[in-house]
Amino acid sequence: MSAKKIELKVNYHVSGRYTLSYRTADGMYTDFKDDGLLSSDDQGRFYRSLVKKVVELASSGYSVSFIDTSDDGDYGMPLPIIIG
């Protein structure tokens, strides 16, 4: 049996806030409402919460991929990461 797939996306706003979203079946992104993942101005807390969410999803049988748009580095493109 293949794993369920979920695509996550880290959004960074110029105000300094981070939000984690997931892609829905219709291709749109919806924000997670979990504490620490919605409009967080604490980068450390946000990424700790993100790791917990990824572990939770992977433990529930999801193959998790995500793109972090908060730092597009020297190439001008976010790097995708796939877990599971």
Q: How confident is the model at residue 71 (pLDDT cuts 50, 70, 90)?
A: low
Stretch 42-71: mean pLDDT: 90
pTM exceeding the 0.95 threshold for the entire prediction: no
Domain spans of the chain, in order of start: 4-83
- 3-class DSSP assignment, residue 40: strand
E strand segments, the chain: 4-12, 18-23, 29-31, 62-68, 80-83
pLDDT at residue number 82 = 64
